[in-house]
Structure 1
Amino acid sequence: MSPLLSIDEPRPARSPARPQWRAFTEMGFRPLYLAGCGWALASVLAWVYAPGLLRGDLPGVFWHAHEMLWGFVATIAVGFLLTAGANWTGRNPLHGNPLAALCLVWAAARIGYLVPGRNAFLVAGAADALFFLWGAAALGRSVWLTRNRRNYGVPLLLAALAGAHAAYLSSAAAGDYLGLMRAFNAGLICMAVLTLLIARRVIPFFAQRAVQGLKIPPHTRSGHWQLAAGVAAVALLLAGQAPAASAALAASGLIALAQWLAWKPWAVRRVPLLWILYAGYLGLGIGLLVAAAQLAGLVLRTAWPAHVIGVAGFSVLILGMVTRTALGHLGRPLRTDRSMVTSYALMILAALLRLAALPPTQASVALLHASATAWALALALYLWRFFPLMIRPRADAPQGAVRVAAARPAGPAPRP
């Protein structure tokens, strides 16, 4: 059974290669990691420092929430899954000009939400739906053709994200705030379920490869219960059953925290590529408990679950994943440098400052601005470090060839 991500320790490159279009569009992570992180940087700066630029039909906070979840987090997920799909199946789901076309569809959506007028809004919404459904179909085709049964459900989660996106925009257009929040929360939890599924596979796998002698139990049974609880929470949210959804979210969050403890976080404290992933998974688990408390009426402010899950969970975890997986698939040593560790520290600082800004105090605005600045610097460092690498062939690829690291497993396969 092939691993989710098989990343070989590379040999040093003999000489730097020139940028190549073929290399840039060889795998989904290359353009989509850059696009997602670049848009996350730009959109947060616009939201905090230049809200006057947001003149589309999706106003203010609704645009910000949509772009953070679907424009940033879900975009990175698509890039990751298109790349991981090559390892699951031995078939690259999307590459070359079709991948470039998918990215143009994504860009059309981002621009469309900023242009005034209902036509631009409709075009943007259709482009976003096409982006997610296209990604789901490409991944699903590879999974189906290779009969990769353990991953049959992953394309369906991407399709569910597209459905939640459509419900969100429909509610926004109709002025239905309750429907909009229901769709947003469903999309948020759907993304959390997908993230838990992937992270539970790869984090222990990465940790056992990096820390000599570290043994981590697979938690297969608890993972199945966690997945079932997450899917139930999404269904119950859409059905308007808040108390039952709260219980399902609490179960999923508690399982995540139990897994985190079983992964022996103290053993990875000296490995930045690992502790950043552990920090994000911890934030996600806590965020699910906060969401459960909010649905139960114990947390009154609706912004808390979104920001604990989204910033302390997704964003911290994403920065670690886009570093770790990119290094491996680019044929680079699996080591951090000063810029990478600095970006991790800045992202964690941004998360803490953003949470501190949630209570309405005199310091809230200053904390929000400080958080946005730290966020932008963290992502800018990532882009500065990785953009030159993403547009070039793998460091260990002869004559510019780009290898898909699926054919040669490197260690035991992570359990589902």
Structure 2
Amino acid sequence: MAELIHPQERQAGVARPDLTTFLSLGFRPLYIAGVVWALVSIAIWIFAPQLIPAPMWGVAWHAHEMLWGFIVTIALGFLLTASATWTGFNPLKGAPLGLVCILWLIARIAYLTGGDTAFTVGVISESAFFLISALSLLRVVIKGKSRRNYGLPLLVLGLGVANVLYLSAAKNGDYVLLIEHFNQGLIAMAVVALLIARRVIPFFSMRMVPELKLPMLVGSGKYQLGFGVAAIVFSLVGLSWAMALSLAITGLISLWQLAHWKPFSVLHKPMLWILYLGYAMIGIGLICAAAHMAGIGASSPLGRSATHVHIIGMGGFCILIIGMLTRTALGHLGRPLALDASMLLSYYLMIAAVALRLAALWPSSVTLMLLHASAACWIVCMGLYLWRFVPMLIRPRPDAVLKAKAAK
């Protein structure tokens, strides 16, 4: 296995874990927290669902913890880090960042503790987590006059509101309302994911393939954002046909953008094609969601709500996430932008987990086996990431170590 050792690290030696460094940027603690929870929550859901207590219940807990407990957490870790680069101001660090992480942890524990009191504590803690994160982002984008990012804090706040509505429906056992609020949260997260990915995919691609020239597609991005937000609004007012149309257009714009980013030019770069694949799956998933809303293919597995949820959630968000977890962590940690064997294996394991889970949507005698195999691939994927990256995420960058030594 290739070792990703920076030349400066050879000179400086391996630094000790450092709490100040660990809490210096949002991606360090939140990437670890999100990935640990991704591993633990799937293990509980597939292999020990009896541990999920009331007032939460099986699928309600699973859907919540995957979307808000894992996917949104990783997205916030990225935004709290990237916004420091975009604006020149760090939105959260030190004790405030530590507090946000503790609030997140309290919510995870509370929902597994059971009982109305613990549930209420979880809702309050998680709501505070979203509110503080949104306000911190708002503060730096205004301070840094980063006008194109003014909408991001509102989207984060929207995810927090959808979370409260979802949890209320879960506590009341209202499955219809639960699915409605989950879809609102899913679409809001899709808008955030597409917004982020549309910026980073061409940028990362042109950095890694110097001769490659790609358009940023700002114009189509505005339409994509507009129709995505419109889908959320139409969901809130109960216009399902308009919501379906908006979702279909958003998905088609995403696939059109992808075609203009010359996907065949990055097939030799796994760190890039993994992002292209995740972006494509979100686009396809949004089109499938539109078909579901319009009642197309209702009698087939493609017409089930679980189909578009897993295409978007696993095929889109999670494939994007495993690519972003490696690329952005290596970049912000001052490491070479290269994959070792364990990182590449984590990509293939994630893709396998998605393929197996989608295959399990077709009822058969091997459905349970497929679910178990998907969970096993997922757990090993997340475990590999933690094994490889936690030692780097809790330590200073190699160049920072050298500067500290030189200053003595």
TM-score range, shorter chain: over 0.9
User: Residue 391 of structure 2 aligns with which residue?
Assistant: 388
Give the superposition deviation at 1:302: 1.2
User: Residue 227 of structure 1 aligns with which residue?
Assistant: 225
CA deviation string 1:162-216 (max 9, x = no partner): 0100110111222222211111000000000000000000010000010121011
What CA distance in whole angstroms lies between the structure 1 residues aligned with 2:96 and 2:26?
10
Q: Report if the CA contact (8 A) 1:252-1:288 is conserved.
A: yes
Q: Report if the CA contact (8 A) 1:276-1:344 is conserved.
A: yes
Are residue 23 (structure 1) and residue 24 (structure 2) matched? no
Give the superposition deviation at 1:400: 7.3
1:12 partner SS: helix
Instruction: Compare 95-104 and 293-302 and name the one that shifted more.
Output: 293-302
User: Residue 106 of structure 2 aligns with which residue?
Assistant: 108
TM-score w.r.t. structure 1 length? 0.93
1:376 is matched with which residue: 363, 368, 379? Answer: 379
Give the superposition deviation at 1:398: 3.5
Please, which runs of 5 or more residues in structure 2 have no aligned partner? 1-5, 298-302
Give the superposition deviation at 1:395: 1.8
Q: Alignment length, in residue pairs?
A: 392
1:246 is matched with which residue: 239, 244, 247? Answer: 244
Listed as ranges, the matches of 1:50-89 within 5 Å are 50-89=48-87
User: Residue 291 of structure 1 aligns with which residue?
Assistant: 289
What CA distance in whole angstroms lies between the structure 1 residues aligned with 2:296 and 2:359?
18
What CA distance in whole angstroms lies between the structure 2 residues aligned with 1:236 and 1:119?
34
User: Residue 256 of structure 2 aligns with which residue?
Assistant: 258
What CA distance in whole angstroms lies between the structure 2 residues aligned with 1:146 and 1:27?
17
Q: Report if the CA contact (8 A) 1:157-1:190 is conserved.
A: yes
Listed as ranges, the matches of 1:266-415 within 5 Å are 266-299=264-297, 300-398=303-401
Q: Report if the CA contact (8 A) 1:11-1:331 is conserved.
A: no
Residue type of the partner of 2:275? L
Give the superposition deviation at 1:42: 0.5
2:113 partner SS: coil
Give the superposition deviation at 1:272: 1.3
Residue type of the partner of 1:147? K
Instruction: Compare 291-300 and 225-234 and name the one that shifted more.
Output: 291-300
1:358 partner SS: coil
Residue type of the partner of 2:8? P
**Identity, % of aligned pairs?**
54
User: Residue 406 of structure 1 aligns with which residue?
Assistant: none
1:191 is matched with which residue: 189, 203, 222? Answer: 189
CA deviation string 1:329-368 (max 9, x = no partner): 0010000000000000000000000000011111111101
1:114 partner SS: helix
Q: Report if the CA contact (8 A) 1:11-1:396 is conserved.
A: no
What CA distance in whole angstroms lies between the structure 2 residues aligned with 1:226 and 1:331?
33
Q: Report if the CA contact (8 A) 1:37-1:383 is conserved.
A: yes
Q: Report if the CA contact (8 A) 1:12-1:332 is conserved.
A: no
Residue type of the partner of 1:351? V
CA deviation string 1:369-389 (max 9, x = no partner): 000000111111001000000
What CA distance in whole angstroms lies between the structure 1 residues aligned with 2:148 and 2:364?
48
Instruction: Compare 104-113 and 141-150 and name the one that shifted more.
Output: 141-150
What CA distance in whole angstroms lies between the structure 1 residues aligned with 2:61 and 2:190?
20
Residue type of the partner of 1:302? S
Residue type of the partner of 2:237? A
1:113 partner SS: helix
CA deviation string 1:96-123 (max 9, x = no partner): 1111111000000000001121011111
What CA distance in whole angstroms lies between the structure 1 residues aligned with 2:284 and 2:387?
31
Q: Which has the higher contact order (CA 8 A, sep 6+)?
A: 1
- Let me know the Cα RMSD of the aligned residues: 1.1
Give the superposition deviation at 1:399: 5.1
Are residue 209 (structure 1) and residue 220 (structure 2) matched? no
User: Residue 128 of structure 2 aligns with which residue?
Assistant: 130
User: Residue 137 of structure 2 aligns with which residue?
Assistant: 139
Give the superposition deviation at 1:148: 1.4
What CA distance in whole angstroms lies between the structure 1 residues aligned with 2:111 and 2:403?
38
2:47 is matched with which residue: 46, 49, 70? Answer: 49
1:298 partner SS: coil
What CA distance in whole angstroms lies between the structure 2 residues aligned with 1:172 and 1:121?
11
Poorly superposed stretches of 4+, deviation over 3 Å: 398-401
The structure richer in helix per residue is 2
